[in-house]
Protein backbone atom coordinates (compact mmCIF):
# COMPACT_ATOMS: atom_id res chain seq x y z
CA UNK A 1 0.00 0.00 0.00
CA UNK A 2 1.60 3.25 -1.08
CA UNK A 3 0.18 6.69 -0.32
CA UNK A 4 1.17 10.19 0.75
CA UNK A 5 3.02 8.81 3.77
CA UNK A 6 5.04 6.22 1.87
CA UNK A 7 5.00 2.47 1.38
CA UNK A 8 3.91 0.81 4.65
CA UNK A 9 5.25 -2.58 3.56
CA UNK A 10 8.81 -1.27 3.83
CA UNK A 11 10.87 -1.63 6.97
CA UNK A 12 10.56 0.84 9.83
CA UNK A 13 13.80 2.79 10.31
CA UNK A 14 12.89 4.44 13.61
CA UNK A 15 10.26 3.84 16.29
CA UNK A 16 9.46 6.58 18.78
CA UNK A 17 7.43 5.76 21.89
CA UNK A 18 5.78 8.86 23.30
CA UNK A 19 3.60 9.36 26.39
CA UNK A 20 1.40 12.45 26.64
CA UNK A 21 1.10 13.56 30.25
CA UNK A 22 -0.41 16.65 31.81
CA UNK A 23 -3.33 17.96 33.80
CA UNK A 24 -6.88 16.86 33.01
CA UNK A 25 -8.78 18.72 30.28
CA UNK A 26 -5.79 20.49 28.72
CA UNK A 27 -6.10 18.93 25.23
CA UNK A 28 -3.78 15.90 25.21
CA UNK A 29 -6.34 13.72 23.43
CA UNK A 30 -7.16 16.47 20.94
CA UNK A 31 -3.46 16.95 20.17
CA UNK A 32 -3.07 13.22 19.53
CA UNK A 33 -6.21 12.99 17.40
CA UNK A 34 -5.12 15.97 15.31
CA UNK A 35 -1.65 14.50 14.74
CA UNK A 36 -2.67 10.87 14.16
CA UNK A 37 -5.92 11.32 12.18
CA UNK A 38 -5.97 15.04 11.28
CA UNK A 39 -9.32 15.39 13.07
CA UNK A 40 -10.66 17.75 15.70
CA UNK A 41 -13.80 17.10 17.74
CA UNK A 42 -15.40 19.71 19.97
CA UNK A 43 -17.43 17.01 21.73
CA UNK A 44 -14.58 14.85 22.98
CA UNK A 45 -14.93 12.87 26.20
CA UNK A 46 -12.42 12.52 29.02
CA UNK A 47 -9.87 9.76 28.62
CA UNK A 48 -10.35 6.87 31.02
CA UNK A 49 -7.08 5.09 31.73
CA UNK A 50 -4.79 5.17 28.71
CA UNK A 51 -5.41 5.25 24.96
CA UNK A 52 -2.90 4.38 22.23
CA UNK A 53 -2.46 5.41 18.60
CA UNK A 54 0.25 5.04 16.00
CA UNK A 55 1.28 7.06 13.00
CA UNK A 56 3.85 6.16 10.38
CA UNK A 57 5.55 8.88 8.33
CA UNK A 58 8.37 9.13 5.84
CA UNK A 59 10.84 11.84 6.86
CA UNK A 60 14.04 12.40 4.86
CA UNK A 61 13.57 9.03 3.11
CA UNK A 62 13.35 7.21 6.46
CA UNK A 63 10.22 5.48 7.72
CA UNK A 64 9.37 6.67 11.21
CA UNK A 65 6.69 5.10 13.38
CA UNK A 66 5.34 7.02 16.37
CA UNK A 67 3.60 4.99 19.08
CA UNK A 68 1.75 7.55 21.19
CA UNK A 69 0.09 6.88 24.54
CA UNK A 70 -2.54 9.32 25.80
CA UNK A 71 -3.00 9.34 29.58
CA UNK A 72 -6.06 10.34 31.57
CA UNK A 73 -4.32 13.34 33.15
CA UNK A 74 -4.83 12.17 36.71
CA UNK A 75 -1.36 10.81 37.44
CA UNK A 76 -0.22 10.90 41.04
CA UNK A 77 2.86 12.87 42.07
**More confident site: 19 or 43:** 19
List for the chain the helix, strand, coil content (%; round to 5): 15, 40, 45
- The H or E element that residue 37 is part of is helix 28-37
Res. 17: pLDDT tops 80: yes
* pLDDT score of 77: 55
One CATH from 3.40.710.10, 3.40.50.300, 3.40.50.10800, 3.40.50.150 for 2-71: 3.40.50.300
pTM over 0.85: no
SS3 letters across 14-34:
EEEEEEECCCCCCCHHHHHHH
Amino acid sequence: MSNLYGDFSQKIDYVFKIVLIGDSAVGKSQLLTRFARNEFNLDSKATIGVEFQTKTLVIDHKTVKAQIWDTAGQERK
